[in-house]
């Protein structure tokens, strides 16, 4: 079986494919494979957001703890999608819990290491900003629609 | 009675009343004043709860079986509440069918994409039935359905049956859920990329129904995915009273939703759907 290198995988990913080869190589140097069992917590709200993830197989629930009730799932993430964006934004702490809904395989990237590289090279940080902020805006707009309660009686 | 008078209701008997999600019920009706009236997918009837009031409700049954007239209604006021409370054997007045329809027969040979939000699945269901009844005539069938929560999925059992078909792609998403729900959570537009993966957008005929904001953003997402505006259709909702374009209650720019709609081609209304005055 052919083992694909991180740079090959990232170069084909929609959120990475417009980066140049040198930047892809830099990302690949910060990447590692991860495996999570069904029900396993990938990270918890409030903990340091030092890694972010690209799901390659399986589904992940992003959820909020609610006192004396079961957690509320606000979003699910599926194969090909990225999560754990808090690594980019101070104070670099996760704003929700991520839980594997089934067997999950993912590529994780070392966000803390990338932050250091961006500090050393603001041009790299600006490139990432240009590439990913449109995606974050789309995601924010989606979340805005969710909180509008579109399907309620008054909608 | 004069069956040709569009302002005169015909009497129907409730032969089955089925509670759906909270505050929503489906009634199956049989005509008392003559034969069943054919309808086209997407059309609506004016339902008259005797002594209470009359409201427009889309037809949600199979157009190939007009003898089983089916309406799904949400209780949002006195008239709709009276219709939701109907029991087997009760009577209802009906005028219609009225309005334009989903051009589903004309979409033969294309990939039919249905995007529904909340109760918007009800007006789309007759068109979905048409495609399922004539599946070989269509290049593909994809249904994307968004609801508030797993408990508020309309026609959940039927969706389960559709999912089990090998010739139908279904993506269901909810706005929020508790643990135990293993499906997708996220607004309906987030489910579109996966639903459309591997399909040439130029082959898609899209039929969208739901709250207007949901339709607006869905149309934007479809356009971004490459689905032409002249291949996207929506169903509008306005305060329809006479249903024949006389009273003007449902005027929408230069159109009356009751007569010129409720189904409109996207490019015909694109300049109006984001205008708050309309």
Closest residue in B to A143 (Cα) is B187
Average pLDDT score over chain B: 93
Number of domains, chain A: 1
Question: What's the order of all strands across the beta sheet hosting A97-100?
Answer: A41-43, A97-100, A59-64, A72-78
Q: What is the pLDDT of residue B3?
A: 53
In a domain, A92, yes or no: yes
Q: What is the pLDDT of residue B55?
A: 95
Are B204 and B124 members of one domain? yes
Question: Which residues of chain A have a Cβ shorter than 8 Å from any chain B Cβ?
Answer: 59, 61, 63, 70-76, 78, 101-102, 141-143, 145-146, 148-153, 155
Looking at the DSSP bridge assignments, the partners of residue B19 are B25
In a domain, B64, yes or no: yes
Q: Which residues of B touch A70 (CB under 8 A)?
A: 178-179
Are B134 and B202 members of one domain? yes
Query: Hey, what's the torsion of the CAs at A54, B189, B180, A107, to 10 degrees?
Result: 0
The average pLDDT across B74-80 equals 95
In a domain, A154, yes or no: no
Q: Which of A72, A76, A148 sits opposite B213 (nearest CB)?
A: A148
Query: B252: which residues sit within 8 A by CB, 6+ positions away?
Result: B236, B238, B260, B261, B269, B272, B278
Which ipTM did the prediction report? 0.85
CA B143 to chain centre: 13
Return the CA Rg of chain A. Answer: 16
In a domain, B250, yes or no: no
Q: What is the pLDDT of residue A155?
A: 45
In a domain, A35, yes or no: yes
Q: What is the pLDDT of residue A3?
A: 64
Number of domains, chain B: 2
Q: Can you give the residue range of the structural domain that contains B226?
A: 111-235
Closest residue in A to B188 (Cα) is A142
Question: What's the order of all strands across the beta sheet hosting B232-235?
Answer: B184-185, B169-174, B140-147, B111-117, B204-209, B232-235, B263-265
CATH code at position A46: 2.60.120.10
Q: What is the distance in angstroms between the Cα of B179 and the nearest Cα belonging to chain A?
A: 7
Instruction: Encode pLDDT of A1-42 as tens digits.
Output: 566 799 999 999 988 888 999 999 999 999 999 999 999 999
In a domain, A153, yes or no: no
Question: Beta strand B53-58 with B44-49: parallel, antiparallel or unpaired?
Answer: antiparallel
State the Cα–Cα distance between residues B264 and B103, nearest whole angstrom: 10
Asked whether residue B214 carries a pLDDT value surpassing 70, the answer given is yes
- Nearest residue to A63 (alpha-carbon basis) of B213, B118, B181, B109: B181
Binary contact (A151, B175; C-beta < 8 A): yes
In a domain, B44, yes or no: yes
CA B197 to chain centre: 25
In a domain, A100, yes or no: yes
State the Cα–Cα distance between residues B174 and B182, nearest whole angstrom: 11
In a domain, A70, yes or no: yes
Are B214 and B152 members of one domain? yes
Question: Which residues of chain B have a Cβ shorter than 8 Å from any chain A Cβ?
Answer: 23, 74, 76, 117-119, 146-148, 152, 175-179, 181-187, 189-190, 194, 210-211, 213-214, 217
Are B204 and B94 members of one domain? no
Q: Can you give the residue range of the structural domain that contains A127?
A: 6-147
Asked whether residue B1 carries a pLDDT value surpassing 50, the answer given is no
Are B88 and B145 members of one domain? no
CA atoms within 13 A on the CB side of B95: 23
pLDDT band at B173 (very low <50, low <70, confident <90, very high): very high
In a domain, A94, yes or no: yes
CATH code at position B184: 3.40.50.80
Are B91 and B119 members of one domain? no
CATH code at position B18: 2.40.30.10
Hey, of B174, B175, B182, B209, which one would you mutate to test binding to chain A, going by the most A CBs within 10 A of its CB? B175
Q: What is the pLDDT of residue B10?
A: 94
In a domain, B273, yes or no: no
Task: pLDDT tens for chain A, 155 residues: list them.
Answer: 566 799 999 999 988 888 999 999 999 999 999 999 999 999 999 999 999 999 999 999 999 998 888 899 999 999 999 999 999 999 999 999 999 999 999 999 999 999 999 999 999 999 999 999 998 998 898 888 888 888 875 54
Asked whether residue B132 carries a pLDDT value surpassing 60, the answer given is yes
Instruction: Encode pLDDT of B80-122 as tens digits.
Output: 999 999 999 999 999 999 999 999 999 999 999 999 999 999 9
Q: CB of A151 within 8 A of CB of B175?
A: yes
């Amino acid at each position: 079986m052919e083992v694909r290198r991180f740079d090959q995988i990232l170069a084909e990913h929609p959120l990475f494919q417009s980066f140049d080869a040198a930047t892809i190589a830099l990302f690949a140097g910060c990447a590692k494979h991860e495996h999570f069992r069904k029900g396993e917590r990938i990270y918890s709200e409030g903990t340091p957001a030092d890694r972010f993830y690209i799901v390659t197989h399986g589904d992940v629930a992003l959820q909020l703890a609610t006192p004396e009730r079961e957690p509320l799932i606000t979003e699910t993430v599926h194969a090909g999608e990225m999560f754990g964006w808090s690594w980019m934004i101070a104070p670099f702490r996760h704003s929700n819990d991520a839980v594997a809904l089934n067997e999950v395989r993912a590529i994780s990237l070392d966000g803390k290491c990338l932050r250091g590289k961006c500090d050393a090279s603001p041009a790299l940080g600006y490139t990432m900003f240009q590439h990913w902020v449109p995606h974050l805006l789309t995601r924010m707009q989606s979340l805005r629609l969710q909180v509008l309660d579109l399907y309620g009686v008054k909608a | 009675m004069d069956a040709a008078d569009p302002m005169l209701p015909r009497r129907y008997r409730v032969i089955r009343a089925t509670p759906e999600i909270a505050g929503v019920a489906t009634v199956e009706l049989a005509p008392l004043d003559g034969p069943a009236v054919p309808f086209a997918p997407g059309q609506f009837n004016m339902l008259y709860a005797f002594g209470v009031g009359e409201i427009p409700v889309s037809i949600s049954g199979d157009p190939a079986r007009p003898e089983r007239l089916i309406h799904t209604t949400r209780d949002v006021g006195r008239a709709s509440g009276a219709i939701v409370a109907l029991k087997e054997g009760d009577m209802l007045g009906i005028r219609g069918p009225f309005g334009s329809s989903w051009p589903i027969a004309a979409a033969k040979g294309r990939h039919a994409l249905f995007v529904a939000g909340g109760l918007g699945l009800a007006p789309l269901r007759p068109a979905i039935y048409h495609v399922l009844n004539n599946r070989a005539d269509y290049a593909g069938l994809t249904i994307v359905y968004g609801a508030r929560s797993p408990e508020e999925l309309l026609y959940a059992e039927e969706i389960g049956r559709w999912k089990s078909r090998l010739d139908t792609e279904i993506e269901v998403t909810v706005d929020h859920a508790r643990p135990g729900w293993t499906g997708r959570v996220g607004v309906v537009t987030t489910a579109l990329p996966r639903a459309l993966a591997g399909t040439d957008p130029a082959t898609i005929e899209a039929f969208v129904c739901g709250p207007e904001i949901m339709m607006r953003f869905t149309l934007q997402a479809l356009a971004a995915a490459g689905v032409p505006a002249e291949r996207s259709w929506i169903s509008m909702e306005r305060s329809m009273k006479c249903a024949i374009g006389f009273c003007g209650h449902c005027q929408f720019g230069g159109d009356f939703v009751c007569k010129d709609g409720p189904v409109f081609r996207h490019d015909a209304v694109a300049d109006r759907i984001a205008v708050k005055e309309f």
